Structure 1
């Protein structure tokens, strides 16, 4: 039979072990630290759930998704921050995707590459970058839609415009104005003959959401 002293010691050790195990999971006990975690849910209030806690997303952590492997940190007073996504084999935010072209337009033009877009974070805001080029099967002389609707995540809150390279004669290059509407449809502003638009490039172009 254990003595009273031995029983008290065993109980103390058991309570210390229980407290230590609880502390390993409680941010307020663990103190300042960082680690990686997997997102299990995305909340509407700017937080993501991981390891059973809600972590406040940094402004640069855009387009969060369940399954993201992220870097999280906690302060000594229990504040929880989700810094952003770790790089992976695929990127839900930033993967180059072909632009869905409307009838009458094809890609690519000669060596300029396929017309594509990707969603990125720049200076704390979300932006869409463009690249590649588009051929018109018939010369464009007026404002003409060259894409069908892009996904909702790539549609701006207002109509956005940009300038890109185009042809206007066999040996001289010009520029063309383009825009994307809130519906996600892109259009190019053609010009009248003999300066009509037969192809245009998207390299270096972008718009903010």
Structure 2
């Protein structure tokens, strides 16, 4: 028969083992760590909710969506960071997406890549970056819409304008103005003189929302 002291020692050891196992599963006591979690809410203050916790997003975690599988980092002091979205079967909002071109426009300058946009965060604000080229089936001589409406998330609060590259020659300036309306429609300002616009590039162009 075990002595009373031996029984107490075994009980104490069992309680310690149980505490260690519980602590390994409890984010509040296990110290610095990282894990995966599913976003259940997106908050307006730059945080998301996952695992019942409010977690601060890093700036690189763009356009969070309920259902995102994210990586969470936890410091030993209990601070939580949402590192970003894990790759999934569908592209996130921040991925490059083909621009829906209007009739009369294509993106056949394959050496420069297709006309695309993506939504990003820069310096704490949301902006849309553009890339690729657009070809006109018929030369553009006036302001002409070259896209149908972009999704609501990519539409600016006011009309935005910028300058990009266009076809050029010795007597033609190789720059052209473009803009996007609050309805999300992109347009280009063609000119009949000194030369018509046959194609234009979007590389390096962007607009703020």
Q: TM-score under structure 1 normalisation? A: 0.80
The residue matched to 1:128 in structure 2 has which SS? strand
Q: Provide the rounded CA distance (Å) in 1 between the counterparts of 2:88 and 2:27.
A: 27
Partners of 1:182 and 1:150 lie apart in 2 by 10
**Mapping of 1:35-184 within 5 angstroms?**
35-45=34-44, 46-65=46-65, 66-76=67-77, 78-85=78-85, 92-109=92-109, 111-167=111-167, 172-184=172-184
Shift of 1:164: 0.8
* Alpha-carbon distance in structure 1 between the residues aligned to 2:111 and 2:47: 44
Is the 8 Å Cα contact of residues 27 and 74 (structure 1) preserved in structure 2? no
Which ranges in structure 2 are unaligned for 5 or more consecutive residues? Answer: none
1:203 & 1:52 partners in 2: Cα distance? 42
Offset of residue 11 of structure 1: 3.2
How many Å separate the matches in 2 of 1:62 and 1:37?
17
Whole-Å Cα distance in 2 between the matches of residues 140 and 171 of structure 1? 17
1:5 and 1:99 map into 2 onto residues whose CA distance is 77
CA RMSD in angstroms comes to 3.0
Unaligned runs of 5+ in 1: none
> Structure 1 segments of 4 or more deviating over 6 A?
87-90
SS in 2 for 1:16: helix
Cα displacement (A) at 1:202: 1.0
Q: Kindly indicate whether the alpha-carbon contact (under 8 Å) linking 1:108 and 1:115 is maintained by their aligned counterparts in 2.
A: no
Structure 2 counterpart of 1:191: 191
Aligned in 2, Cα 1:110/1:81: closer, same or farther, shift over 3 Å?
A: closer
Contact 2:172 2:194 in 1 (8 A): no
Which residue does the alignment assign to 2:20?
Answer: 20
1:99 Cα deviation (Å)? Answer: 0.7
Q: What is the aligned length?
A: 207
